[in-house]
Amino acid sequence: MGSSSRENAVGREVPTEINGRLVTPYMGVGACRPQGRKAAAPIRACIDYPDSGDKVVADLKTALKNAGIRDGMTISTHHHFRDGDKVANPLFEAAAQLGVKDLRWFPSAAFPCHAPIIEHLESGVVHHIEGSMNGPLGDYCSRGRMRGMSVLRSHGGRWRAIQDGDVRIDIAVIAAPTADPFGNANALTGPSACGLLGFALADSIYADHVIVVTDNLIPFPCIPWQIQGNNVDQVVVMGSIGDPAKIVSGTTELTRSPDRLMIAEMTAQFIRDAGIMKDGFSFQAGAGGTALAFAVFLKEMMKQAGVRARFIRGGSTKYLVEMLEEGLTDYILDGQTFDLDGVRSMRENPRHQDTSPFTSYNFHGKGNFASMVDAAILGATEVDVNFNANVVTHSDGRLLHGIGGWQNCLFGKCVILPIPAVRDRIPVVVDRVTTVCGPGELIDVVITERGIAINPRRTDLLDAVKGSSLPFRPIDQIKREVDELCGGAPAPPRLGDKIVAAVEWVDGTIIDCVRQVLPADSDRR
């Protein structure tokens, strides 16, 4: 464990070395410029690949052996299947059977269904995980049980890390709902259809060795090729690569909570009152309950005003698809589909465009879509009186989930966080966030059931909403009300010195870190 650390530009103490690699503490927004050239995959020759174009091998274990899997390698997977993934677990099971150790798992995200990986962490097959962790894996990491330090990156940050050569993927395993024997693949059809494979795109381009795993092999050609077979080494056919019920469904439910509905409605009203909603505008909203409700409210207002958006960025769901089909937007630019309507629309509608973290979010590129979006609607676990926000830990310090596209979306023209100010005695508006994931200067509006706070830096927004009847309040007033309600400000989490995860900013610098959560000590009292 690197023992040296420094205070960074947002006042957090961060390590200068992670898993043996030197890193730079966060320097501020736009303060750190990259140098050098992009990383690249090794040059290969057709001589070493079947002329027939048939790269199918017997099973995962054979594929890993052929790939030359060795101790200490980096293995990557994508999370388009969310909690319905059925590939990562057998993958590490196969690695374990091959007697390999100290692997670095580099998923675009991990989910509760990946709890069996804990066994491989304990046995030494897996050294550490660099990627967001949900549920049991998150708790495991929070308790300090992982041998190496985890690194949490945004979608754009993960692309950047691969592209810049910070992370070299030895073997990428890409679960593909449809594929041909050459390795062309897409996610539009097949029993595990999930819409697109954007999170695996960088892996397919930059990894040393690429294995496509499918449960729906079709004769060449598999068109469209969201993953190009020319980047693929081997193809494996499995009985089932994902659970459709968990890939597409369950997440796209409008919230029924009256508080969240009120917050969602105020968010749509804010967008209207601030003049952001107008012909040709654009917005991004996630697939959480509040964001979906927001989209429904906004749609009604757009219809009443006769306004049409130029594009909407998703997480697509049936609500966004309806807006596209009803002519309320010209395009959906989609990073991830959450339900069957989203998948169908992507398959059938040329105006429903799949995107990748390269186009949408990569900070080390020639621009990206995130900064072009007029309004980004995002969540948070905490926001403090300086508008810094947290998405990766609970207020007790436990790892919650990953960053996703959240940090990348902070570059949108108006960043809005519709969140409850307090929920079940857990303050969301606090004095100082447990983990800084995004700096306050990029967060513009916080919309809560107890009032709406506009970042004082945004004098333009303050002007724009002068005639509005929405309940605007200073954020520290909201915070004080929350503290009073809860019977006092919350005690800080009980954390150890050991850093269990580092949080990267979009440019690769370290903006904060997550420390080990100490067990509750009931003898103290």
CA distance 467 to 64: 63
- In whole angstroms, the minimum distance from the beta carbon of 427 to other proteins comes to 8
| H or E stretch at 6 | strand 5-7
Q: Does 515 bind other proteins (CB under 8 A)?
A: no
Q: Which is nearer to other proteins, 95 or 264 (CB)?
A: 264
- Residue 450 C-beta: closest distance to other proteins, Å: 7
498 sits in the region (left: phi over 0; alpha: psi -120 to 50; else beta) called beta
Span near other proteins by CB under 8 A; candidates 88-96, 200-208, 329-337, 491-499: 491-499
CA–CA distance, 185 with 196 (Å, rounded to integer): 10
Token representation of residue 286: 């996630």
* Number of residues near other proteins (by CB under 8 A): 25
CB 515 within 8 A of CB 397: yes
Rounded to the nearest whole angstrom, what is the least distance from the CB of residue 41 to other proteins in the complex? Answer: 45
Which residues lie closer than 8 Å to 481 by C-beta, 6 or more apart?
421, 450
Residue 521: CB minimum distance to other proteins, A: 9
**Interface with other proteins, residue 469, by CB under 8 A:** no
Distance CA 437, CA 381 (A): 10
Distance in angstroms (rounded) separating the CA atoms of residues 237 and 350: 30
321 forms part of the interface with other proteins (CB under 8 A): no
Q: Does residue 46 belong to the site contacting other proteins (CB under 8 A)?
A: no
If the CB atoms of residues 216 and 395 are measured against other proteins, the closer one turns out to be 395
CB of 395 to other proteins, least distance (A): 6
Task: Among 52, 463, 491, 523, indicate the residue that binds other proteins (CB under 8 A).
Answer: 491
Listed in order, strand segments (DSSP E) in 29-77 are: 56-57, 74-77
> Residue 102, Cβ neighbours under 10 Å: how many?
15
Residues 222-261 close enough to bind other proteins by CB under 8 A:
258-259, 261
Measure the CA–CA gap between 358 and 370, rounded to whole angstroms: 11
Interface positions, 169-188, toward other proteins (CB under 8 A): none
Helix axes 340-348, 318-325, angle to 10 degrees: 40
Least Cα distance to 382 among 370, 371, 397 occurs for 397
Q: Which region among 160-168, 244-252, 435-443, 480-488 touches other proteins (by CB under 8 A)? A: 480-488
- Least distance (Å) from other proteins to the CB of residue 396? 4
State which residue, 60 or 419, has the beta carbon closest to other proteins.
419
The distance of closest approach from Cβ of residue 520 to other proteins in the complex, given in angstroms and rounded to an integer, is: 5
Confirm or reject binding of residue 296 to other proteins (CB under 8 A): no
Backbone angles phi, psi at 136, to 5 degrees: -55, -40
To other proteins, the closest distance from the beta carbon of 260 in angstroms equals 11
Task: Determine contact, residues 506/157, Cβ cutoff 8 Å.
Answer: yes
Binding flag, residue 262, other proteins (CB under 8 A): yes
Q: Which of residues 428-467 bind other proteins (CB under 8 A)?
A: 449-450
Stretch that binds other proteins, among 208-216, 232-240, 331-339, 425-433 (CB under 8 A): 425-433
Q: Is residue 136 involved in binding other proteins (CB under 8 A)?
A: no
Among positions 373-402, residues that touch other proteins (CB under 8 A) are: 395-397
Q: Nearest distance from residue 394's CB to other proteins, in Å?
A: 9
Q: Which is nearer to other proteins, 65 or 494 (CB)?
A: 494
Q: Which of 47, 52, 487, 523 binds other proteins (CB under 8 A)?
A: 487
By the rule CB under 8 A, 520 interacts with other proteins: yes
- Euclidean distance between CA atoms 437 and 12, whole angstroms: 11
Per CB under 8 A, 267 contacts other proteins: no
Give whichever of 467 and 488 is closer to other proteins, judged by the CB atom: 488
- Closest to 323 (Cα-Cα) out of 347, 356, 345: 345
Out of 306, 488, 497, 523, the residue judged to bind other proteins by CB under 8 A: 488
Tell me, what amino acid is at 332?
I
CB-count burial class (<10 Å; 0-12, 13-18, 19+) for 202: buried
Strands 429-430 and 415-418: unpaired
Spatial separation of the C-alpha atoms in residues 135 and 409, rounded to whole Å: 24
For residue 181, say if its preceding peptide bond is cis, omega within 30 degrees of 0: no
Binding site for other proteins (CB under 8 A): 258-259, 261-262, 395-397, 423-427, 449-450, 485-488, 490-491, 493-494, 520, 522, 525
